[in-house]
Chains A and B, each alone.
Chain A
Amino acid sequence: MYLLRLALASLANRRFTALLTAFAIALSVCLLLAVERVRTEARASFASTISGTDLIVGARSGSVNLLLYSVFRIGNATNNIRWDSYQHYASDPRVKWAIPISLGDSHRGYRVMGTTTDYFSHYQFGRRQHLALDQGRAFADDPFEVVLGAEVAEALHYKLGDKLVLAHGVAAISLVKHDDKPFTVVGVLERTGTPVDRTLHISLAGMEAIHIDWHNGVPARGAGRISAEQARTMDLQPAAITAFMLGLNSKIATFSLQREINEYRAEPLLAILPGVALQELWSLMGTAEQALFVVSLFVVLTGLIGMLTAILTSLNERRREMAILRSVGARPWHIAGLLVLEALALALAGIAAGLGLLYAGIALAQGYVQANYGLYLPLAWPSAHEWTLLAIILGAALLMGSVPAWRAYRQSLADGLSIHL
């Protein structure tokens, strides 16, 4: 105990270096834990993006691509699929429910998805949770009604009854707007922590209506234009959609239906199992994620080597301290213990400060990260895995501390009681 008191007093005497050293460790620990936490949460939130859906069907491309645009609202479909293909499978006796989705427009950077009200009743995420309305209602017969994801409503400050204009295409800044056909906010969904929060949902009829006077990707001009009022009276049945999701009566049918869809003769289609595609996608990102982890491990190592350097550098100027301690009865192992304790104290201070930084960072960035990346970072106690990491860091610090300890041990044996200047 007295050794600890001495170690701390000696550190306090070199407090500037000691603080810098501990700070370097703190930053590296904070980085490592932050990476770990983001990794864990990303994986968890990723896996819980979609559930309960047995098959996702889209135009033939790659399964990851299909998953990305249909579930994550990232990227674009290469092709649309025909409405009758959808109907063909929606009416299949093995299918319990089917949700058509139509993508391609956006509103201030948020994707717009055309779908049916079945989406609200059948789509599931997380542990088989259904979507729920926080305010208002689902869109109904009028094509120009929109239901907002929680984040869209919050970030853009929309409330029920507000009017908004959709933009053509998915770029954050769109030059072409569907400003002749504004939509009315009729509902806001509860937060899900999935891409649903960042989506504006309209009916397929609405999606059709805003494009009804478009030809070859450009809006009609002058007399060719069709007003919102006119559009309401027209047949708004779409001819094509982007993809559809299927829920089956029996899981056993999943693979046979998947094969059937993939071999559908009328149109090249691709059916994927969301779980399998999610894993495939995660394994793609897993490399980057692991690289990040390795990098943060090296940063921790750098922090610890910084500590080692600081302690080793101090050894020479502290030979007097060691000799005085020897003269008052400290044995060489006391001197070694002193340096190990010093390393431990620095590492512990660094770890504590790193945790502090992490929690301060999470508290500050939580809202921002949730809003921008849909990632919920909980302000929770470190997990068993994180404690293990911290213990390993402490162990590494101990190991590093034993290097100067050994040197000081040798040095104090050689110097004895002679005081070197």
Chain B
Amino acid sequence: MNQPLIELHDLVFAWPGQAPLLEIPAFRLEPGEALFLKGPSGSGKTTLLGLLGGVNRPGQGSIRLLGQDLASLGQGARDRFRVDHTGYIFQQFNLLPFLSVRENVELPCRFSKSRAARAAQRHGSIDQAAAQLLAHLGLDDPTLLARRADSLSIGQQQRVAAARALIGQPELVIADEPTSALDADTREAFIRLLFDECRDAGASLLFVSHDQSLAPLFDRHLSLAELNRAAKPREA
């Protein structure tokens, strides 16, 4: 059987001096899978993403990404591991406004040699990788590449963020409420584009949102509240 992309085991996390915020006995994300994780605010969503990104360390239990136990890596190594294998899309204002669209898309390649190498390998060069990803995401106007990121519409910006998350083929794309700033029509179109691109790149997608209506689009959907034992007593 394939190695899972993400595997959480008996994970407990608490901020210093506080009751546990997260208690997740088991969680898996398979390679190539698109998972919807329902996470209303206050459910420990941000903390979970921090743990998956290697920014925080679990108090107990293990987090394995591609079989690698994140807790066993040092801070610098976790940072490197994150960028090498994960692309992020945030809620909104994902881009550095003072850089051009192209530079924003290429950012991960500046900090990760392996993503730069993979982007160059797959598309010929990093510039071409950025241009092709943007074209796939419907941003094929060549003049757009050189424009400042904040001159784009919100919808366009989110697609640029998607291109940035996907460049250099990370194994995992984490999207944190990426559609909350979009209207209903563009929301679904954006998610479908994201699916296509993730499939092309062979990436798993972990999509975190509070918007249950999007859930049917995904391979699988879970609720963080059900997953997280620490949250249950409060809900009950």
Assess whether B98 is in contact with A10, with CB atoms less than 8 Å apart.
yes
Check if A220 is an interface residue, CB within 8 A of chain B: no
The 8 A CB mask of A383-421 against B (1 = contact, 0 = none) is: 000000000000000000000000000000100111100
Assess whether A416 is in contact with B111, with CB atoms less than 8 Å apart.
no
The 8 A CB mask of A316-329 against B (1 = contact, 0 = none) is: 00001101111111
A325-B164 Cα distance, complex, nearest whole Å: 12
Assess whether B55 is in contact with A416, with CB atoms less than 8 Å apart.
yes
- Which residue, B46, B55, B56, B76, has most C-beta atoms of chain A within 10 A? B55
Assess whether A327 is in contact with B53, with CB atoms less than 8 Å apart.
yes
The 8 A CB mask of B191-208 against A (1 = contact, 0 = none) is: 000000000000000000
Check if A331 is an interface residue, CB within 8 A of chain B: yes
B19 to chain A, nearest CB (A): 20
Q: Which residues of A contact B76 (CB under 8 A)?
A: 331
Beta-carbon nearest neighbor of A320 in chain B: B93
Main secondary structure of the interface of A (DSSP, over half): helix
Check if B50 is an interface residue, CB within 8 A of chain A: yes
Check if B218 is an interface residue, CB within 8 A of chain A: no
Q: Which residues of B contact A417 (CB under 8 A)?
A: 49-50, 53, 55, 88
The 8 A CB mask of B102-136 against A (1 = contact, 0 = none) is: 00000110111000000000000000000000000
Q: Which residues of A contact B83 (CB under 8 A)?
A: 328-329
Beta-carbon nearest neighbor of A414 in chain B: B55
A327-B75 Cα distance, complex, nearest whole Å: 14
Q: Which residues of A contact B94 (CB under 8 A)?
A: 324
Q: Which residues of B contact A323 (CB under 8 A)?
A: 90
The 8 A CB mask of A278-316 against B (1 = contact, 0 = none) is: 000000000000000000000000000000000000000
Check if A9 is an interface residue, CB within 8 A of chain B: yes
Assess whether B110 is in contact with A327, with CB atoms less than 8 Å apart.
no
Q: Which residues of A contact B95 (CB under 8 A)?
A: 324
Residues of B within 8 A of A (CB): 46, 49-50, 53, 55-56, 75-76, 79-80, 82-84, 88, 90-91, 93-99, 107-108, 110-112, 164
18 pairs from A and B in contact (CB 8 Å cutoff) = A2-B110, A10-B96, A13-B98, A323-B90, A324-B90, A327-B53, A328-B107, A328-B111, A328-B164, A329-B80, A329-B82, A329-B83, A329-B84, A330-B111, A331-B76, A331-B79, A413-B55, A416-B53
